[in-house]
Amino acid sequence: MKIIIYIYLFIFILLINSANALNYEQEFQVINKETNIDIIINFDGKQDFNFYLDLPRDVNEINVFLDNKENNFEVIKSEFGNIVNIRGNAKEIKINYNSKSYIEHTSKNYFTAEINSLINAELKIKVILPEG
């Protein structure tokens, strides 16, 4: 019995696809009261992936490019927020969407939700704020 469990565990470990990216960048550009979000993920080679991206409630549309080819993914709305399930096979993923609620501005300060890496990689973040 133990041997069968170990065999299943070994097969399970072999089937797990750990998506490790070489480069993972997020750019947030605040223009007036809206934020344009760009996410770029580069892999070493073609990679299978399947992950969920949490989106602010006001996001209705998302642009996803897999190796520079646009793919349509549906934004799933719920009472807890919006998500999109991004899956496929590519060397590069580009994601773009706009939100009025992603970065909040009060007085001289800007705030955002916690930013987590979608994939096991070093995350580079760039924030472009309006002048002044």
pTM over 0.85? The answer is no
Tell me the C-alpha distance between 92 and 110, whole Å: 30
Q: Which residues contact 79 (CB under 8 A, 6 or more apart)?
A: none
Tell me the C-alpha distance between 27 and 93, whole Å: 14
Tell me the C-alpha distance between 80 and 4, whole Å: 41
For 37-96, how does the pLDDT look when each residue is reduced to its tens digit (9 = 90+)? 999 999 888 989 898 888 888 887 899 999 999 999 999 988 877 889 999 999 999 999
